[in-house]
Structure 1
Amino acid sequence: MDKTPKLPVWDSEDRADVRPQWQSVTSETVFQNPWIRIESHDVITPTGHPAHYGLVKFANRAIAVLPLHDDGTVSLVGQARFAVDAYSWELPEGGGPFDEDPRTAAFRELKEETGLEAAHLHEILSFDMSNSVTNEVAVCFLATGLSQSDRAPDETEAFEYARVPFKILLDAVIKGQVRDGLTVVSVLRLHHMAVTGELLPHLRDAILS
């Protein structure tokens, strides 16, 4: 007799029509600036219990661009991050209004932060940034066919620049040396694309060899 435990059928659909939902009873904006709004909510949880919840809403969609050169290197920017009080090496990234095409924002952020212009830009992943406390969503792009022009960072940005072989960047992500979430997710996604045959052969060979 086969005694192998039977795994439950996994349904990744939302199924909001049949599952208990959160209910917001009262809400109040306690802080707002041009980028975020912090709300305080009295809620009824999916279990039916009352609770209090804080929510951070973002004015923009998060955008990340992985600039992959034909030789298998990736362009990174380095900057000091106030929120974590640490220096961070990461992909070019920023934000774009929800009524703007994410591709437009991606082209802009890539050009401003690195001076790179891309002949090809492909969306490779979208995800929720931290769904327990914020509704922020992110879209990640792969940029190829790169050419260099002038950078145009804004007055608050002080960048360093590096061009790193993908294998070294992947190793730094795995070891926790590169910690920025958008960068981690994009690098792992690109590796997955390479090993599953989703990349053009010359790019696949450049990053895996």
Structure 2
Amino acid sequence: MTRMRGPWTVHDDREVYRNDWVSVTEHAVTRPDGKPGIYGVVGFANYALAILPVLADGRIVLVGQHRFPHDRYSWEIPEGGGALDADPLDGAVRELREETGYQATSWREVLRMDLSNSVTDETAIGYLATGLVPGEAEPEGTEDLLTRELHFCDALDEVVSGQITDALTVAMLFKAYYMAREGELDADLAAAMLDQGARRA
């Protein structure tokens, strides 16, 4: 059935691929300029979840792994997926424990963003996790992970220099920096995160 989607007229939808994580749908459309066309959309079965774990001394926990699409190693904050029909916080708690072994006594949602919204419907939710208690990591079979802890300012340096390129990690670090600078975080935690003297030598 023909329908409007903003300035686009959609005449037909055809799912061309699906697995447990993503689907690809091709829409036959009339473009805003009146010409016929197609629009392909990648649909996601899960939220993208990102967790910024911050220790009391201003260090954060990063996870390193090979990312298949780019065929390169990537340092990121803990991330994963959460079912659309479930509480995303439950998924974030699970991902932090599985990837790092840490559990947090305090959780705060600090970010919602659309990832590549010209071709996907993926929504990301980011959490700040504090009051960290160490434990044993339980990575999934698709994950071959390493972890490292470094000061928040050093992680920011790696973003600015291009060593860290993962979109959610970049967004979460800059959001946390803004919050620390603007008094939106616990004062002691913010001071530890922004303490230049705590950076690596």
Normalised to the residue count of structure 2, the TM-score between the two structures is 0.92
Report the number of matched residues. Answer: 191
Matches within 5 A, 1:54-93: 54-93=40-79
Identity of aligned residues (%): 45
Residue 35 of structure 1 aligns with an amino acid whose one-letter code is: W
In the alignment, the residues of structure 2 paired with residue 120 and residue 21 of structure 1 have an alpha-carbon distance, to the nearest angstrom, of: 43
SS in 2 for 1:47: coil
In the alignment, the residues of structure 2 paired with residue 208 and residue 31 of structure 1 have an alpha-carbon distance, to the nearest angstrom, of: 46
In the alignment, the residues of structure 2 paired with residue 65 and residue 130 of structure 1 have an alpha-carbon distance, to the nearest angstrom, of: 19
Residue 119 of structure 1 aligns with an amino acid whose one-letter code is: T
Residue 165 of structure 1 aligns with an amino acid whose one-letter code is: H
Aligned to 2:27: 41
Task: Report how far residue 28 of structure 1 moved.
Answer: 0.6
Task: Report how far residue 21 of structure 1 moved.
Answer: 2.5
SS in 2 for 1:134: coil
In the alignment, the residues of structure 1 paired with residue 145 and residue 77 of structure 2 have an alpha-carbon distance, to the nearest angstrom, of: 11
Alignment of 1:132 onto 2:94: no
Task: Report how far residue 159 of structure 1 moved.
Answer: 0.4
* Gapped regions of structure 2 (runs ≥ 5): 196-201
Residue 169 of structure 1 aligns with an amino acid whose one-letter code is: A
Residue of structure 1 aligned with 2:10, choices 6, 20, 24: 24
Residue 72 of structure 2 aligns with an amino acid whose one-letter code is: A
Alignment of 1:173 onto 2:131: no
In the TM superposition, what whole-angstrom CA distance separates every residue of 1:151-204 from its partner, at most 9, and x where no partner exists? 111111100110010000001111111000110000000000011110100111
* Gapped regions of structure 1 (runs ≥ 5): 1-18
In the alignment, the residues of structure 2 paired with residue 48 and residue 125 of structure 1 have an alpha-carbon distance, to the nearest angstrom, of: 37
Preserved CA contact (<8 Å) 1:67 1:74? yes
In the alignment, the residues of structure 2 paired with residue 23 and residue 103 of structure 1 have an alpha-carbon distance, to the nearest angstrom, of: 37
Task: Report how far residue 23 of structure 1 moved.
Answer: 2.6
SS in 2 for 1:182: helix
Alignment of 1:158 onto 2:144: yes
Note the aligned Cα RMSD (angstroms): 1.2
Aligned to 2:176: 190
Task: Report how far residue 44 of structure 1 moved.
Answer: 2.0
Preserved CA contact (<8 Å) 1:57 1:135? yes
Preserved CA contact (<8 Å) 1:20 1:47? no
Aligned to 1:96: 82
Large movers: runs of 4+ above 3 Å = none
Alignment of 1:206 onto 2:192: yes
